[in-house]
Amino acid sequence: MPKKRILLVVTAVLALFLAFSLAYKRWGSRDFLAERESMLSLMPEDASAVVYIDLAQMRTSPFLMQLLRSAPKPPLDNDYTKFLQATGFNYETDLDRLAVAINRQSQSSTAFAVADGRFDRKKIEAYASSYGSLKTASGRTLFAVPLNGPNRKAYFTFLRNDRIAWANDSYYFFQQPREGSSAEWREHFSRLAGTPLFAVLRQDSGAAAALAQAPGGLRSPQLATLLAQLQWISIGAKPEENLLRVSIEGECMEENTQHQLKDLLSGLVVLAQMGLNDPKTRKQLDPAVREGYAELLQSADIQQTDRGKSKSVRVVFDVTPKLLEAAGSSTQGADPATARH
C-alpha cells in the first residue's frame, strides 16, 4: 500500500476514534447527569439538608481516595456485619451514588436516602423478608429491618434493580408520589453540577451554630449571628489535579448582611494567619501541620455574588495532599489559631 494511502487510512481511523470518544463523553455525561438529576428529584421538599456523594466519580480521583482513606472509619456494627455476610453487598466497593435528605425536628431528626449501586436484589430481599414486609403507597414491597436500640427500624424498598430508597421513618413511603423536587432545591443542585461531594442546607439555627464553631478553634458569636440570617448554605468539594477545591456559599436577602459577613470572614482569615505565625504556636504545632494550614489559608478566596434579590458570600479554599498527610500523621498539636471576634 502506498505511503500516502496508509497515511489517509491512519488519519481516518484516528478521526473516527476521536469522534467516538467525543460522542461517548458527551452522551455518557448526559446519562450521568440524568441519573444524578433523577436521584436528587426524589429528595423530600421539606428537607433541612441534602447531602450528595458520587462514590463512583470519587474512586477515579487518587486525591479523593486518599481523603477517604485518611478519614476516620466507624467500627462495623453487628447488624451491618450480618447484612454483609448474607448479601455480599459492601458499600465501600458496591455503592456508586448516594443522596441523603435530613429533616431536623424539635426532638429528633429523620433521614431519607436514595442509593445507586450493584445490589444482589434476590439476596437482599431474602435477608430482609425474615423481618417482615408491607406495601408502599405506590404498591412496592417495603422491608423493615431492626436497628441497634429498642424499637428502632430502618425501611427500604427497591426502586429498580440498581436503586434503593431507605429511611428511618416509614412515613416517607406512604406519601402520594410527586413530580420532582421544588424549584429552589433544583436551582441549588444545578449550581453544584459536576461536584462529586456536596451538601445544601436550608437555614436553621442548628446549622448556623455548627458552622460558627468551625475546626481550628475559630468561634465567633458575631459569625453565628450573621450565619443565622442566611437562607441557604451550600458546601461543595471537587478534585482539581492534586488538590481538593472546597467552596462554601451562604445566601441572604440583605446587602448589609452580605458585606458584614464578607468583612468578618476576611478578618478571621487574617487572624488565623497571624495565629500560625505566633512564636508560641510555632513551638506547639508540628511544622508540617502548620505548613498545611498555611497553604489552606493562603488559598482562601472570599467573593460576593448578586443574583437579583439573593445576595451571597462564597469562600473557596484548597485542601492539599500536604495538609492531609500532616493531619493524618499528627496525633497531637495545638489548634492553628484561636480567634474571638
Q: Render pLDDT for 143-174 as a digit per residue (tens, 0 to 9).
A: 988 877 667 888 999 999 999 999 998 888 88
The pLDDT assigned to 12 comes to 45
CA angle 212, 218, 221 (to 5 degrees): 45
CB atoms inside a 10 Å sphere around CB 303? 12
3-class DSSP state for residue 321? helix
Give the pLDDT score at 181.
63
Question: Among 325, 241, 317, 239, which Cα is nearest to 288's?
Answer: 325
Domain spans, the chain:
1-40, 42-202, 203-340
Distance (Å, rounded) from C-alpha 88 to C-alpha 91? 10
pLDDT, mean over the chain: 80
pLDDT at 2: 55
Query: What pLDDT, on a 0 to 100 scale, did the predictor assign at position 288?
Result: 84
Confidence bin at 58 (pLDDT 50/70/90): confident
Rounded distance between C-alpha atoms, residue 251 and residue 222, angstroms: 17
Rounded to two decimals, what is the model's pTM?
Answer: 0.79
- pLDDT tier for residue 32 given thresholds of 50, 70 and 90: low
Q: Which residues are CB-contacts of 110 (< 8 A; sequence separation ≥ 6)?
A: 102, 103, 167, 168, 169, 171, 172
- Angle at CA of residue 221, ends 215 and 222, nearest 5°: 110
How far apart CA 308 and CA 150 sit, in angstroms, is 50
